Amino acid sequence: MSDIHELTVTVDLRDGLSEQQLAELRWHLGLGPQPGDLTVVTDFPCVVVDDDGVPRIENEPRPLLAGSGPARRTTGALCSALAARDGLPGGGWALTSRTEIHPDEAEEVGALLRRLAEHAHDTLRREDGTVRLGHYRAHEDLTPTPLEVVDGRVNLTEALLPRSR
């Protein structure tokens, strides 16, 4: 069994995202350059070994939903898009992303998904506050699991990192 999971995010976002937030979102989707200041996800821990052979943790920012081209472990293509959504009450943004993730990325991806849920259009918010953002599945599974944020908790993060519960 592989640790690779397919992650498909399909969400409409309310209008009102700042230019900084849009620039950072475009970067995470692989649609623009890295902005100077990161505010949504700020910590990207990466273990590196220094010249003396001692491991240390560095912060290495990387876009989280920027997969593109053919998928390595799942079928189909990896891609992302962000488009203005004029048909929504109050306007907004349509976001779609299909990528592959590893559990090592779950915390960072979870932070980004929580932020997306905060900005999700009201039409996606259920009465109990649950926001459905898409779906995910282990690459060998045939049936996807709904990707949901409930009370600030992302079920994908909890599934990949059981200790986060």
Report pLDDT digits (tens) over 69-101: 999 989 899 999 999 988 777 789 999 999 999
Contact at 8 Å (CB) between 111 and 118?
no
Q: What pLDDT does 24 receive? A: 96
Q: What pLDDT does 2 receive? A: 64
Q: What pLDDT does 131 receive? A: 96
Q: What pLDDT does 164 receive? A: 52
Taking the complete model, does pTM exceed 0.85, yes or no?
yes
pLDDT at 165 over 60: no
pLDDT at 149 over 50: yes
Report pLDDT digits (tens) over 9-50: 999 999 989 999 999 999 999 999 999 999 989 989 888 898
3-state helix/strand/coil string of the chain: CCCCEEEEEEEEEECCCCHHHHHHHHHHCCCCCCCCCCCCCCCCEEEEECCCCCEEEEECCCCCCCCCEECCCCCCEEEEEEEECCCCCCCEEEEEEEEEECHHHHHHHHHHHHHHHHHECHHHECCCCCEEEEEEEECCCCCCEEEEEECCEEHHHHHHCHHHC
